[in-house]
Amino acid sequence: MGGGILGFIRSIYQLDTLDTRFTTPSSVPYKLAAEAKKDPVGAQEGGLSKGKRAERSKWSTPEFYLYYLVFLIVIPYMFWVPFEVSRESDPRYPKFQRYLSDGWMLGRKVDVSDSQLRTIRGKIPHIFGLLVVQPLLRRVWNLFKPTRLEPGASETSPRAAEARLEQRISFDAFFGTILLTALHGTSGLKILGLLWLNYQVATRLPRKVVPWATWIFNLYILVTMKVYDGYRFKTFVNLIPFAPDSLLDLASWMDNQQGLLNRWHILFNITILRLISFNLDYAWMTDRQGGSPIEKKQLDPANLSERDRVGTPAPKNNYSFRNYFAYAIYAPLYLAGPILTFNDYISQCRYKSASIELSRTVKYGIRCLLVLLAMEFVLHFNYANAISNARPDWSSYTPAQIALLSFFKLHIIWLKLLVPWRLFRFWALVDGIDPPENMLRCVSDNYSTLSFWRSWHRSFYRWTLRYIYIPLGGSNFKTLVSAAYSTVTYLAVFMFVAIWHDVDFQLLVWSWLIVAFFLPEIAAGYLFPRRKWEGRPTAYRVLCCVGAVGNVLMMISANVVGFGGGVDAMKALWEGLFRGLSGISFLTGSCLALFVGIQVMFEIRQSELRKGIDLKC
């Protein structure tokens, strides 16, 4: 019994439970990969050969036993320092006490001083309610609108796929309309208007100008919807010469009917990505000549690989306004994602993804609850946000306290994103759609700037690859000219990411810092290639680890600027670290601890390689 329970717990934390995309090559259909894994010969044929580049395990070596000892000392210390300054006995407690609220865990207060975090935490019961109600309503809808097939017809036949698509899309459009009205009230009309305008850009303009027009239109919306506070009705009416008072009164009334989430434009960023996805998928579909790509490649449409689901265009008649509307406001993913491309959405509406299994979905749901519990624990015992919001005299804090409060503030940002992303993806899985997992690794399990971007908000990363990075030509650092062009490409990607988050100079600085921190890592890869160190693997591992320590320090600095308090916060952090002997001692100890932690990160990835898994992050 005990072994069974431990085995179940281990299965909850397997990569396959998190997302089958992590254990199945993107070019291999999930069914084929699952069958291939059952025997070594099949694994070779399925492109799942194991451990070609993996090193021998180091978990039981004396070196790693020393690292375990360091972990036993350092990890509790890292939690204790911010907890100690969050206690009522701390003399600075009255300065940030007003930012705390009543909690439910061991008599502790809870720090929900971050407005976004407070909103997310307050809406979690509503999300769970929708997670139950929407799938049940779909079942009722399917009873009244069944898929009618001829006797003996296969459930994977083209006709059955069209019937399933019609059944799902009709419900998604119906439920999405209700959700849009409930969430945004009369502002739903603005969203509908923007969707219609974007659809006209895709379907009415000449093919050559569609990509440019799509980017210009959507960037314009990104900027102006915040500048003009969500396009208030009264603002438009004031532009009409001699507008009657009755029209102004109507506009004012409509501005006040804003639904449950009155600031619709704050959450519309994620929908912008879907609008761009539809337009570019549609434009690339029109470039296709001849018959269906599925027929040309002799693929099974009911068992496509993820790459084929994303890259294979739907039939032209599937790019209708109703299908586009249902995709743009698909309820489980509408507010925060993860991001699913239009082609992938249509494909999964036609054929249910084989990766959706009840046991896996249940385990994923349990993992969601554990993440929620972890967030609650941190918010009850670490008041990093409240301390920061109180604008304290940082000189009264030791370098260790400043550094670890900043460190945990980044973890709180990670948690407040992770919780809704996991819950919304769980809702989609329950509803029969498998979107990409957004968070692959804990924010602490990253040592590479490039890899960090691949694993943080992963669906957005994949979106930028498909719609920005690859169309711009990707990257090539073999010559100075190509390196300069590649740097411009990276700047274009991350400046869009910054503007997408918010029209804010602080975030633009963050985007420039990220690109600046990419360059040393890329240069190091060219200066110290692995092949030249094949005879000295340990020396190469130590060299990489030293560079990775610097990477981690740079990543922490960049994210403190972008999401943890700005340039002033980063300045205070580094000033504290170089303030006297105590600061330098802590920085030295931190670098040594990071060295140990990164060695463990290296070995985690080697363990994955030994299982035939290469996540490239």
Residue with tokens 């704050």: 266
Which residues are CB-neighbours of 94 under 8 A, at least 6 positions away? none
| C-alpha closest to that of 439 among 404, 463, 415, 471 | 415
Six token digits for residue 215: 């980017």
Lookup: tokens for 192: 């509908």
Does the active-site annotation cover 501? yes
Closest CA to 405 of 581, 596, 564, 589: 564
Overall residue count recorded for the chain in this entry: 617
**3-state SS assignment for residue 156:** coil
DSSP string, 65-79: HHHHHHHHHHHHHHH
Q: How far apart are CA 301 and CA 291, in angstroms?
A: 14
Amino acid of residue 471: P
Angle formed at CA 221 by CA 219 and CA 223, multiple of 5 degrees: 70
Kindly tell me the sign of the dihedral angle through the C-alpha atoms of 48, 53, 57, 59: negative
397 φ, ψ (degrees, to nearest 5): -105, 145
Q: What share of the chain is helix, strand, coil (3-state, %, to 5)?
A: 70, 0, 30
End-to-end CA distance of the chain: 36
What's the DSSP call for residue 443?
Answer: T
Residue recorded with tokens 């700037």? 449
Rounded to whole angstroms, the Cα distance separating 163 from 152 reads: 15
Cα 47 → chain centroid: 27
Residue 208: DSSP 8-state: G
Strand partners, 238: none
* Burial of 345: CB neighbours in 10 Å, binned 0-12, 13-18, 19+: buried
CA gap 526, 548 in Å, rounded: 15
Q: Rounded to 5 degrees, what are φ and ψ at 498? A: -65, -50
Contact criterion met (CB below 8 Å) for 383 and 86: yes
Cα(488)–Cα(591) distance, integer angstroms: 32
Pairing mode, if any, of strands 109-110 and 101-102? antiparallel
In order of 174, 478, 486, the CA distances from 474 in angstroms are 40, 13, 7
d(CA 111, CA 330): 32
Q: Which of 126, 265, 380, 501 is catalytic?
A: 501
What whole-number distance in Å separates Cα of residue 424 and Cα of residue 415? 14
Residue 562 is encoded by which pair of tokens?
């972008």
How would DSSP label each residue in 225-273?
HHHTTTT-HHHHHTTSTT--HHHHHHHHHHHH---SSS-GGGSTHHHHH
List phi, psi (to 5°) of 394: -65, -20
3-state class (DSSP) for residue 105: coil
| Residues marked as catalytic | 501
